[in-house]
Structure 1
């Protein structure tokens, strides 16, 4: 039997022979056994990959809890500190703006010290922020804790990059979507904490709601100790032996498949020569801010889907769902918080559908179905709130019964929106962003995309109450429905399908070549 070529991993002086043997191995594996070639359809859900993915997703759990718990805690904080609507909007929206800053910092840190240490930094920041908010004696201190929490969220956004770089092509979508699954679990846990702690005295309840967020960060800090580094980041550092050792584990000990994936990563021998000098010379931000044609197409896809994800108003419902339910006619705080749990359960269960289907149906079909459902649901919410507004002007028993029916429809439409969002736009956005960029740009491109995401999220959170006050709640949701409608066209005409392709193959789809980075520097 003909011996297959092996990768030389000894030193930088062997880079050229490594590159040649890698290419030979890649071509031979593709010809002899397509299922084992990079980008093949073989799925690999080995325990090691799933274990690492779940640990990385604890970052997302922290983000989700912070979002969910604030929506309910705000009901008590606004009374405790006597906040007006603008102060409430700033308290809620500042998280997204701080996340923008943290996200932009995270890309550079992740490239410098690695994905794993960046996630450990996020855990430490979350821990301090949760305690600061829980013990805050004033609105100003509470705001400081909220800003610090946003910085932690920004650093935590590197976890989808880590998952994408560790996962096999055939299961990358499902494993990558676990980040959004854990965000939703975190949101649900935040809602449950609100409900469970609401009977406590007002001065104590909201403090415990916020302080409990410090607990998961301790688990994440411990988890980082047993997590491996991203093999692609190790390759970028020229550390091929540990990269191959990790790939062997992610391939369940299949040496041939590990070598094939390493061959796909090591696409340019010069990327392994003096990596520190080359990273500094590459000027990654210049590549992103003054992009070539392939990078422009990547940025259009990534920034576009992040824009539409948040501009469709999801955070208006996540952050202000208790307020929206109260506007719809729900009177007691207990019933309002109970309804938020129902929404959270709906959203969390639905994300499991996307987790199962992302690698079978693909990204585009789920995004199109999601955008269509969101448009219908938001339009229904807008129409029902229009009827509720009219109903409050008519003091008759018939109008009262009609209003009850409209309230039920509004609640179902809100659950329908969360369901539609969780099928596609929730989990797929970060998966796509982690797939479309080359290794040298991936971490900072994710930072830039998350910056867009958080900027729009902050704009929604900072303006919802004012927007609803200016053009009514119905008018606000009509605006969000129009944006969701526009997202259907964007996905149909701009977003490519990436399922089953290796990260390197996805980059080549956009026209990116290994020499592009070097040509920019000449």
Structure 2
């Protein structure tokens, strides 16, 4: 795996923002909310209102993060997220003397989480070489899981009243400050963002530090410069281009990313995680420390699976892992639903409880092989540079809103169709997700980020395919001769898609005439 130490360090440092997200997202779960209500007499109605308000706020903050990262840069957007975490930790742990102040602190947390979800994968994607982009962009999922695990362990001490919930919410105060300082001193700005701002010398310096050779750095710079030229010629990364007048390829990418983020959480993975402790108790594991030990071990195994999936993602692709992952989830969610249905009908059938525990843990494992990490990767690489921040923020908004609504819906469905029926419903949702991914998600493995820009160009968003192909031709690492001119294998495939090009571009004698009559473009 061709990877420089500097690139790895930057990816880890940027992904540590997800550690704080996982650390604090769990603090607003129903379990922790129950503890808050017992401690400071915050009513359940107020906590439910807060949850709904946070869901709305997550969507607004995520969409804002995409536009802001285009204005001030990816690096300073990440630093800004740490400032929100610092202020949220400070307000909720030290200044929350009433409900209004407590809500203010929670909203600061929500902004920080939304910024991390929208900006972190985009930053890592733009900083990483194509050969390791999938592996490095799975790091946010890894660190989110680590933060979630750490918070669960700390919550166990809190439940024993060795500490207060204020200290639990204040855990991120010092780490967020130190992380913001470390990112300010260490992280470079995204090369793509630098080129769009005309800072070519700084972009070149960053690319040389993140590439394994100067030749690779030059190739990446050439690709980014071409996309930057397209952006300056009217390809403005705006919501109007993304939502109102998208090209066919952009529309397909938007549908794919929104659907991927929706199905990531609507298939019930958070419900499975939350129900594991109760399943273990039903199976006879009564001691709280034993339950924590088992769930912690499962979480550690999950982290190892995510890292392995990230490595395989750059070898076999995103799509095979995603389809295999969701197929496994369908099977094990159905098994979990059937096991719980049998277990609740007859409490003497211990084998059904044991089956449910196994199904739950296998479901988590299969989620970690594809649907979990692929969501971060695909959302940040499906769009060209001019729309990447907005597209990723759209996916982040759908992700966070769906996660919140699914958690709330699980509590309601639990009483209407039983817990077993709820997980069977999640299995049905996973089946729909598999069909959606099979039909609409194209493979992004083996394609440079610049090829997303080429693909959107070819569908007529503002420049001719011939002009883009001729510009790209001088920047490809592997190319072949075609009618006497250098052209990449990817571009040759594009030229064969006759329906996507004007008549003069179709593979025939006219194509040969086009190349021979436009030699000055090459």
Q: Normalising by the residue count of structure 2, what TM-score does the alignment of the two structures yield?
A: 0.81
Corresponding position of 2:269? 314
Matched ranges for 1:61-76 at <5 A: 61-71=19-29, 73-76=32-35
Cα 1:95–1:268, aligned 2, differ >3 Å: closer, same or farther? closer
Aligned with 2:226: secondary structure? Answer: coil
C-alpha contact (below 8 Å) 1:65/1:187 kept by paired residues: yes
Output the CA distance in 2 between the equivalents of 1:90 and 1:376: 35
In the alignment, which residue of structure 2 is the partner of 1:152?
112
Which range is displaced more, 293-302 or 90-99? 90-99
Asked if 1:123 is matched to 2:82, the reply is yes
**Contact 1:106 / 1:155 at 8 angstroms: preserved in 2?**
yes
Cα deviation digits, residues 449-495 of structure 1 (max 9, x gap): 11111121121122221121222111211111111111111222211
Q: Does structure 1 conserve the Cα–Cα contact (< 8 Å) formed by 2:249 and 2:459?
A: no
Change (3 A) 1:160 1:125: same
1:241 maps to which of 183, 201, 208: 201
Q: 1:499-518 alignment to 2 at 5 Å?
A: 499-509=445-455, 511-513=456-458, 516-517=461-462
Task: Flag the 1:340–1:130 CA change in 2: closer, same or farther, 3 A.
Answer: farther
User: Pairwise mapping of residues 292-441 of structure 1 onto structure 2 (< 5 A)?
Assistant: 292-318=247-273, 322=277, 333-392=288-347, 399=348, 402-403=349-350, 405-441=351-387
Counterparts in 2 of 1:213 and 1:437: CA distance versus 1, 3 Å: same
Work out which of the residue numbers 170, 174, 198 in structure 2 matches 1:215.
174
1:258 and 2:212 aligned? no
Rounded to whole Å, the distance in 1 between the matches of 2:113 and 2:97 is 23
Asked if structure 2 preserves the Cα contact closer than 8 Å seen for 1:68 and 1:188, the reply is no
Shift of 1:447: 0.8
- Residue in 1 aligned with 2:128? 167
1: CA distance, partners of 2:201 / 2:238: 26
Secondary structure at the counterpart of residue 309 of structure 2: helix
Q: Distance in 2 between matches of 1:84 and 1:251?
A: 54
Residue 242 of structure 2 corresponds to residue 288 of structure 1:
yes
1:230 deviates by 0.2
- Residues 70 and 215 (structure 1 numbering): CA distance in 2 closer, same or farther, change over 3 Å? farther
Change (3 A) 1:370 1:504: same
Equivalent residues in 2 for 1:420-499, closer than 5 Å: 420-499=366-445
Q: RMSD of aligned C-alpha atoms?
A: 2.6
Measure, in 2, the Cα distance between the counterparts of 1:137 and 1:324: 37
SS across alignment from 1:153:
helix
Contact 1:100/1:451, CA 8 A, preserved across alignment: yes
Cα gap change, 1:124 to 1:189, in 2 (>3 Å): same
CA distance in 1, matches of 2:32, 2:59: 23
Taking structure 1 as the reference length, what is the TM-score of the superposition?
0.81
Q: Retained in 1: the 8 A contact 2:231–2:386?
A: no
Query: What SS does the aligned partner of 1:222 have?
Result: helix
Partner of 2:70: 111
Pick closer, same or farther for the CA change 1:406–1:140 going to 2, 3 Å: farther
Indicate which of 60, 78, 87 corresponds to 2:18.
60
CA gap of 1:445–1:372, structure 2 versus 1, over 3 A, is: same
Superposition deviation, residue 83 in structure 1: 6.2
Q: Any idea what SS the aligned residue of 1:496 has? A: coil
- Contact map agreement 1:68 1:186 (CA 8 A) in 2: no
Q: Do 1:307 and 1:456's aligned partners in 2 also have CA atoms closer than 8 Å?
A: yes
In the TM superposition, what whole-angstrom CA distance separates every residue of 1:374-433 from its partner, at most 9, and x where no partner exists? 1122112211221222124xxxxxx1xx23x33332222221111111110111112111
Q: List runs of 5+ in structure 2 lacking aligned partners.
A: 465-522
- 1:166 and 1:231 in contact (8 A); partners too: yes
User: Is the 8 Å Cα contact of residues 196 and 228 (structure 2) preserved in structure 1?
Assistant: no
Q: Structure 1 unaligned runs (5+)?
A: 1-42, 393-398
Q: Which moved more, 1:382-391 or 1:152-161?
A: 382-391
- Tell whether the 8 Å contact from 2:279 to 2:357 is kept in structure 1 after alignment: no
Q: Tell me if the contact between 2:276 and 2:360 (Cα under 8 Å) persists in the aligned partners.
A: no
Provide the rounded CA distance (Å) in 2 between the counterparts of 1:477 and 1:91: 26
What is the distance in 2 between the residues matched to 1:140 and 1:471? 36
Deviation at 1:338, TM superposition (A): 4.2
- Return closer, same or farther for 1:121/1:427 CA change in 2, 3 Å cut-off: same
Distance 2:292 2:33 in 1: 12
> Measured at CA, do residues 134 and 430 of structure 1 come closer, stay the same or move farther in structure 2, by a change above 3 Å?
same
